[in-house]
Amino acid sequence: MARKFFGTDGIRGRANDGVLTADLAMKVGQAAGRHFLRGDHRHRVVIGKDTRLSGYMMENALVAGFTSVGMDVIMTGPLPTPAVALLTREMRADLGVMISASHNPFDDNGIKLFGPDGFKLSDADELAIEAALEQPQPFAKGADVGRARRIDDARGRYIHAVKASVADDIRFDGLKIVVDCAHGAAYNVAPSAIWELGAEVIAIGVEPNGLNINAGVGSTSPAALMAKVVEEGADIGIALDGDADRLIVVDEKGQTVDGDQIMALIGSQMAASGQLKGGGVVATVMSNLGLERFLASNGLDLVRTQVGDRYVLEAMRHGGYNVGGEQSGHMILLDHATTGDGTIAALQVLAALVRSGQRASELLHLFDPVPQLLRNVRYAGGKPLENAQVRQVIAAAEAALAGKGRLVIRPSGTEPVIRVMAEGDDEQQVEQVVAAICTAVEAAV
């Protein structure tokens, strides 16, 4: 069955414009609620959100949908995506919902669903909900209608959980850390957790107004953090995205450290301490060849998946791995969380910094990345990658890079762009290959 609503990370789009409306949100609540009404207990769903203005509208619509089919609702207010996953499991809920469009601008929004185990829904569950979205759902009657309430201790529960991911003997005393929360869901919890572990915290991106999430701050816009780290003479900088499931680090010199370097650090350190499972790390096809070579030099494997943290997670669970992620900063540490958690990953990096006694610039640049170039080509519709001329140019590029690099071309799962990535030891060749393919795609669209 073709997907009409669900993409690689839930349902996402422009809020109140096109598909993602309050009406759809209410139907998602009804369809997902009915799908998870299993057994004769009182059913409940946990709903969290980031700081987007449209989150109020989406939250109320979802509450109406869930309660109308007989499911009780627990609302947490603004909270990171991994916190919703955690609370779904810890509070024995039947379902968890995060209202967020992650790193996208404020006028987008999305709906992410978690099962009772705290993991994102399977393809089968999403397809079943898809089918039910366009069918009327039976309403609950009388006393079976659901109730809704807000809880006040959600942030405290999550802060306690992320602090517990750090060994008892680790403290961050003496560290000056800049924390950029992207004016998003972690604006309160991430600085608090790091401060409570002893650090001096300088927080930026912590003044959400509904319209400024990810605007010039956060993991996708690290310039503000880079400048602040240097200005303050900080030891390290931490950047999260709008829903705090991804992490980018900035060292004391103001240099960015991406997800590949973070995976190299966490994976190799856990291997050295005997904590790494599966004999390697899981990442996507976008991760740099340098990471693969670094892991191999340490006797570790790199298992690649298609792009999307859900596919990384599937491979981790199937193969028994406990460390995985994406170059973009999604870090999945299954010993501590059921989904990507930027705050927990940040704490592992900070703990490694404390143990090593090194500067961040010494600790966090473990390999030299192979020259890699990624460009996006926006398109309005159609299937440009099926164009004959585009296919011919791609074939020529693959032949040129054979044995010397890699080529990855794919449509984004969250926005209408074609992503063209090439890497290889010859930087000039990489640039030429990407330029040729992008030109062909632009001509086709």
224-236 pLDDT tens trace: 999 999 999 999 9
Contact 71, 37 (CB under 8 A): yes
Distance CA 201, CA 175 (A): 8
Domains and CATH numbers, the chain: 6-151 (3.40.120.10), 174-363 (3.40.120.10), 372-444 (3.30.310.50)
* DSSP alpha helix (H) spans, 273-421: 289-297, 309-319, 342-356, 360-363, 388-401
Q: What is the pLDDT of residue 227?
A: 98
Q: Rounded to an integer, what distance in angstroms lies between the CA atom of residue 236 and that of residue 157? A: 26
The reported pTM is 0.90
pLDDT tens sequence across 323-380 = 999 999 999 999 999 999 999 999 999 999 999 999 999 999 999 999 999 999 998 8
pLDDT tens sequence across 107-156: 999 999 999 999 999 889 999 999 999 899 999 999 999 999 999 999 99
Helix (H) or strand (E) holding 271: helix 259-272
pLDDT at 2: 61
pLDDT band for position 51 (50/70/90)? very high
Tell me phi and psi for residue 402, to 5 degrees: -55, 125
Residue 165 CA to residue 26 CA, distance in Å, equals 36
What rounded mean pLDDT belongs to the chain? 95
- Cα–Cα distance for residue pair 378/404, rounded to 1 Å: 28
Strand partners, 49: 78, 99
Res. 98: pLDDT tops 60: yes
pLDDT tens, residue by residue, 300-309:
999 999 988 8
Q: What is the pLDDT of residues 252-269, one digit of tens each?
A: 999 999 999 999 999 999
For position 416, what pLDDT does the model report? Answer: 85
pLDDT at 415: 76
**pLDDT for 414:** 67
Alpha-carbon separation of residue 439 from 77, 297, 434 (angstroms)? 45, 37, 8
Out of 54, 100, 102, 221, which one is annotated catalytic?
A: 102
The torsion angle over the Cα atoms of residues 225, 255, 422 and 428, rounded to 10 degrees, is: 130
Q: Determine what percent of the chain is predicted with pLDDT higher than 90.
A: 88
Q: Which two tokens stand for residue 199?
A: 């650090």
- Residue 202: count other Cβ atoms within 10 Å of its Cβ: 17
Whether 102 is catalytic is yes
The confidence score (pLDDT) of residue 313 equals 95
